[in-house]
Amino acid sequence: MSAAADIAVYRGIRYATADRFGAPVRVDGAPIWSDEPGPIAPQLPSRLETVMGKPNQLPQSEDCLRLTITAPKQATGRPVLIWIHGGAYLTGSGGFDWYDAGTLVRETGIVVVSINYRLGALGYLRAPGRASGNLGLLDQITAIEWVRDHIAEFGGDPQSLTVAGQSAGAHSIFAMLGSPRTRGLFRRAILQSVPTGIAFPTPAQAERVGQIFLDVLGTDPHSAPLSEILRAQGETARQFAEPDGLSLPFLPISGLDPLPEADAWRAEIRDRAADLRLVVGSTAHEMAAFLGPDPTAELAQSLGREIFEEPLAEFADDLARAGAHLHRYRVDALHPDNPFGACHCIELPLLFGDENAWGTAPMLSGLPLDTLADLGAPMRRAWGEFVTTGVIADWEGAQPHRLP
C-alpha cells in the first residue's frame, strides 16, 4: 500500500488467474497488494499515443488480472466506482498513471477501483477447439464480482457499485447491460465515448477473424511465444483495418457466454432498463484522434456522427422510453488552438491523473497544465455525485450537459 495524508492506494491486487485461452478463476482469501502496479496485459503500442502521449512503462505479462483500489483513509461504506479502461480492446491498463484516481477520491470521498483485463487475441480470439472468445469480458465481470465481495475490506459499500468506462471500456459495459450474468451486479453505469455504432460480431464473423490470426501465426496459439502472438495480432489488425480508423478485430462476441444473441441481448436491456441509472456522452470531435488534426473536417464529423453520436442518441432514447434514468453530456474543446479539438480521450485528464501524467499529451498542447485540476472539477464533482446518489441534480433534462 502507498498512502498520502488522506488516501490509501492498494496496487497490483490479483482478482483472478487464467491459463492462456482459459476462463478466469477467481482468487479469494485475504487480498494481497503492493506499492507498485501489477503487470499489464501484453500489448503493442497504442495508436492513441498520437493524442495521449506515451503511458508510463509497466511490465507486461499474461498474469495480468490485477486491480488497483484508491480509497479515503479510515473509510467505511463509501460508494464505489469501478473503472474499465479503453484502448480498442488492444491496449491499456487500469494501472497507468493516466488513471490515477487520487484527486477524484479526495474531492468526492468515493472509492475507485481500476482493473486490468486480457486484450487482443489473448482476450477475444474465437477459434473453435482452441479459444472460446469473450475471455476479456469474462475477466471484467469476474473483477466486478470480486469487488462486490471484497470492497468492504477497503472501505467500500458492495451494495453501491457504479461501473464506468471510456471507449472500449464503455463498449464493454454496453455489452454487459444485455448479459443476464450482470443482472443485479450493478445498476449505475457511466459510458464515456462509447462507440455504439460498432456492433458485436456473431461467432461466425469472429471465427473468420480468428482464422486470419491463425494463418498469420502459423503455429499452435497455446504454445506460441508471446512475441509471436503480438506480431500476428498486429498483422491481423492491419489486414482487418478499415478507412475509418476504428476497426476492431478483437471484441466481445454476440451469442457466446456471457452475451446472448443480439435479439435476446436487446430484450435483456429493455427488461432491466427501469432499474438502470446511466450517464452517457461523447466528445465534440471524437474522430480527430483517429484521422488526425482538423477535427471539423467533413469526413471526421460524418464518421463521428455515424459511430458515436447518432447510435448513442438512439440507444439513450430507447433506454429512456423503457424506463431508465439518464444523464447526457458532451465535452467541448479545452483549448481553442489545439488542432485535435475535443478529440476522443480529451475528457480523461478532467477525471483522472495530473499534470505529470498528462504532460506529454499532444491533445493538451497549448493548455496550461496547471489549469487541468480546475477545468476537471465540475466533471469530477458530477461523477462523484452520480456514484453517490445516482443523480446529478444540475443535469436534469433531455439536452446534453456541456463540459468542461
Active site residues: 167, 286, 344
The answer to whether 335 and 371 have CB atoms below 8 angstroms apart is: no
Map residue 84 onto helix, strand or coil.
strand
Nearest C-alpha neighbor of 334 from the set 323, 346, 322, 326: 346
pLDDT band at 294; cut points 50, 70, 90 = confident
- The C-alpha cell 443480439 sits at 262
Structural domains in the chain, sorted by start:
2-208+245-403 (3.40.50.1820)
**Cα 305-310-313 angle, rounded to 5 deg:** 140
- Compute the average pLDDT of residues 84-101: 98
pLDDT band at 296; cut points 50, 70, 90 = low
pTM of the predicted structure, to 2 decimals:
0.97
Nearest C-alpha neighbor of 87 from the set 127, 129, 115: 115
The answer to whether 40 and 14 have CB atoms below 8 angstroms apart is: no
Q: 132-171 pLDDT, tens per residue?
A: 999 999 999 999 999 999 999 999 999 999 999 999 999 9
Q: What percent of the chain has pLDDT over 90?
A: 92
Grid cell in block for residue 48:
492513441
Nearest C-alpha neighbor of 120 from the set 25, 285, 9, 237: 237
What pLDDT is attached to residue 297?
79
Task: Look over the chain and give the mean of its residue pLDDT values, rounded to a whole number.
Answer: 95
Grid cell in block for residue 87:
484502448
Measure the CA–CA gap between 125 and 119, rounded to whole angstroms: 9
Q: Is the peptide bond before 362 cis (omega within 30 degrees of 0)?
A: no
